[in-house]
Each structure stands twice: as C-alpha cells, then as structure tokens.
Amino acid sequence: MYKSIRSFYKKCTTFVAICLIASTIALTSYTLPAKADLIYHAFDECFANVKAKLPQIKAAGYDYIQLSPANKTISREDDACTSDKYWYFQYQPLDYVLGGNLGNEQDVKDVINAAHEQGIKVIADVVLNHLAKYKNVPNEDNKPFPEAYPIYQSREYFHDGACIQNYNNPSEVTDKWLCDQGDGYEGGLPDLKTELPYVQQQDQNYLKHLFDIGFDGLRFDAAKHIPQEDMQKILAVIPEDKFYYGEVIGQSYDESMSYISVYPKLSDFQLVNTLKDAFNIGGDLRSLVNPSDTKRALPGKDAVIFARNHDTWAPGQFDNWKFDDGDLPLATAYVLAIKEGTPLILNFDAFNPTVVAASQFNKKMLGQPQYFRKGNEIAQGANIPNLLFIERGDKGIAMINKSGGTFDVKAAKMPALEVGCYDELQYNFKMCVDKGGDGQKYITQWGSPERGGIQIGPRTALLFVKD
C-alpha cells in the first residue's frame, strides 16, 4: 500500500492474538499439496535492473518475479533506479498506460521475455482502487478536479471526497478515500466507483493488456478497499491458468478469509503477526507449530506468506511488525522451511545467505510431509522457547535458535530422519545419523567425525538435506 495513509496502518496493526502453545508439540504431519513456487519481490526496482539480475535470481531458486506497478504514475523526486525514498508514488496511478518511473512498456516486455527464457514467471502489481493525489498531478492549466487526469476526467467516476475514518465500517473502507492524517481529502487518493460498468471495463482492458504482453500473474493492491462484488466482475477476464492474489490486511482471521471467494490467495498478515510475537523478547518459537490450526495464520493453500513485504519494510508504518536484523533472516527461514503457503521474499532480503540456503531447502523438500518435532524428543534441554525443529519427511530438517547463546549438547536423537548423512546448506558441514545399540537413531557426527550431538549457534537457522 502507501506510505502516506498512516491512519489506516495504525488501525490495522492489532490482531486478536491467540497465543496457544500446545502442551504436546508433536502434532500431526500435513497432507496438504506441496507448494511449488517462490516469489522474488522486485520492490521498486527499475525493470532494466531486474533484467540484469535474472541470473542471480534464478540461481537463488525463485520461480516468480513480482514487479512494482508498471503503469504511468506521478513523477518522482528521486532517481527511481537508485533510490526507494519515494517508492509510494508507484502506487499513485495516473492511468493504465505502461511506462513511467521504473521503465517504459518495452522495458517491461524485455524483462518478461528474458525471465521466461530463464524459466521464471512474472507478476504485475496492480492498483485499481484509486488514482494519484490530485495535488501531485501535472496541471499547468489549473484544471479543476478531476479534469487533469489522463483518464476518468469526470466526477461521476469517483466516490465523494470524504476520508475513511472508521476502518471497521465496510462501506467506509470501500467507498471513501484513503487520506493522509490531518491532510483532508484534498491530499487523499481519489476512490474510484468500481461499481460502474465503464470503470470495470477500463480495469479489464488493463488486465487483458498485461496478459497480452506476457505477464503470468497479478497482485492486487488495496484489495480490501474494492467491493467484493465489483472485483468478481473485474476478475472475470483472468485466464484460469494465471496466478493472482489480493492484498487484504484483515483486522482478524475471519475478515481476511472472507475474501477467499474473490481471490485464490491472500497476503498473510496474520502469519506476520504470529511470527513477530514468537520472535519478540519473551516470545516462544513453539507457538509457530501449525498456526493456521488456531487462526493465527491463513491456511497454506490460501496464503502468500512472508516475514516482511514492502508495507512492513517501509519507514513510518507497521512498526510493530518490523523484525530486528538478527531475527529477520530466521523468520524468513521459517517461511521457507514450512510446507504451507507460497513464499514471497522482499528483494532486500532475497540474497541473505540464510535466506538463500532456506530457499534451496524449500526446493529440495518439495513434496515432503511436515512435522514439528518436540525438542525433548531430540535432546535433553531442547524443549525450550528459543528452539524450533521442523522435520520434512525423512529427508531433511530445519533447526532455528533465536537466542543470543549457543545451544550445545553432546548427545542427540534424530527420530524421523533416515540413517545416513545430511548436508547443511549454508555453513557447509555434515550431520550423520545412525542407529544405536538400543535401536534408536542418534546424531553420530556433527561437522567433525569426532563429535555427535547438536551445536546451534546464536540466532542461527540450520537447514539439513539428505546428501
């Protein structure tokens, strides 16, 4: 969404937290379909720069690239190819013609074609709810609102200029303007009457053009602000084989899930909230066991999941969902280690060594079931708030230590993994598992053949796969 709409963010940052930590953590393994795709979020990147990075993006394991809005927006006061200071201008469209701060239509086609040659699909970020703030629109002749827009030059296409005051009121959310706090509607984002057939037709024409030039999927910004019945009509032009999802910052699990009848997938802000609670000081990683079972995350089949996206990254908003630098890679590793959901990784995080290793783990574990193993089934003293163990069938395991100290034990079991050796994907050492005289499986080698057990460094994620 947009940096400027701070009142909205402040009212949407509190979820009902259901902090249930099961007394028995060893819960059922999942039978959900394996997730197939990783999304690289090329946030505020010029299209030519994304094209140049394609080999690096492919090597890191990404299947999709999500571009920032490609249609014409108001001009920026920074160099969009080297600065993200005015990123939110990309979410203030002038019309639905491709080209602008991040590149022209040919630049868009070039990155799509080059990505397809690498086997990578491309998602367009789409803004249909509103147009740019009128005070920022080029208007040398001082034309009255809305005559300076290249499109929708009559007031009949806009809801009356009143700012949203109550985000718990659905009609306000869909029919009033997103506004700056204290700025009044003159500084707001003019809200389009998406119920009008003419507006719906313009939206559909834009979506069809995006597919015509090669886009493989869509992300719909501010999806909560467009009535569901309007969106269902607009989305009717999307081919069945295309990927798309909606940004819905629901104030509850149930509110978010009410949009699944419109969008096949939604941005999972419930999971972000749950992750932040777990990684906070005093938080418990064991609360991350199957969070969708207690409505603390969306069901995986319905969710695009992340530890942070551009909304939670941006200065001045969602501050209660911002991770510190040490926790962020670990939270992202969790997103990539679990079976559920379609992970989206922000470009600022995408090439962190822990994240790259977790992306590789995600690919190698495709199709494997998932099981959260109780720590005391692995080692004495391991069933603690700072540790989490995520088994993927008998082929791999992710271990996360959020504490500032090393967890080190000389004896440890590995109940589910096959006998054999496993490669750690970031730190490049081996863990070997063998049967003991009692028939149970133990870690007999941890890095050096001279030691067994487990040693997990401070604020570390380890990702093991069968060699």
The predicted pLDDT at position 29 comes to 37
The predicted pLDDT at position 184 comes to 62
Confidence of residue 180 (pLDDT cuts 50, 70, 90): confident
The answer on pLDDT for 25 being more than 80 is no
The predicted pLDDT at position 383 comes to 98
Helix (H, G, I), strand (E, B) or coil at 163: strand
Q: Which of 103, 104, 106, 107 is nearest to 44 (CA)?
A: 103
Rounded average pLDDT over 179-208: 89
Question: Cβ of 346: how many Cβ atoms within 10 Å?
Answer: 22
Type of residue numbered 319: D
What does the pLDDT look like over 210-260, one tens digit per residue? 999 999 999 999 999 999 999 999 999 999 999 999 999 999 999 999 999
Residue 9, Cβ density class (10 Å: 0-12 exposed, 13-18 middle, ≥19 buried): buried
* Domains assigned to the chain: 6-367 (3.20.20.80), 371-466 (2.60.40.1180)
Give the predicted TM-score (pTM) of the model.
Answer: 0.92
The predicted pLDDT at position 309 comes to 98
Confidence of residue 22 (pLDDT cuts 50, 70, 90): very low
Confidence of residue 16 (pLDDT cuts 50, 70, 90): very low
What does the pLDDT look like over 423-449, one tens digit per residue? 999 999 999 999 999 999 999 999 999
Helical segments of 81-125, H only: 105-117
Give the residues across from 65 on adjacent strands.
40, 122
The predicted pLDDT at position 187 comes to 80
The predicted pLDDT at position 183 comes to 64
> Strands 370-372, 387-392: parallel, antiparallel or unpaired by DSSP?
antiparallel
Helical segments of 60-183, H only: 105-117, 170-175
Q: What percent of the chain has pLDDT over 90?
A: 89
Q: CA 446 to CA 430: how far, in whole Å?
A: 6
All residues at 6 or more sequence positions from 52 whose CB lies less than 8 Å from its CB, including other chains: none
Q: What percent of the chain has pLDDT over 70?
A: 91
Share the mean pLDDT of the chain: 92
The predicted pLDDT at position 161 comes to 87
Confidence of residue 1 (pLDDT cuts 50, 70, 90): low
The answer on pLDDT for 182 being more than 70 is no
What does the pLDDT look like over 410-423, one tens digit per residue? 999 999 999 999 99
Q: Which of 377, 355, 373, 387 is nearest to 455 (CA)?
A: 387
Helical segments of 118-196, H only: 170-175
Q: CA 467 to CA 459: how far, in whole Å?
A: 25
Residue 122 has φ and ψ, to the nearest 5°, of -130, 135
The predicted pLDDT at position 247 comes to 98
Rounded average pLDDT over 342-347: 98
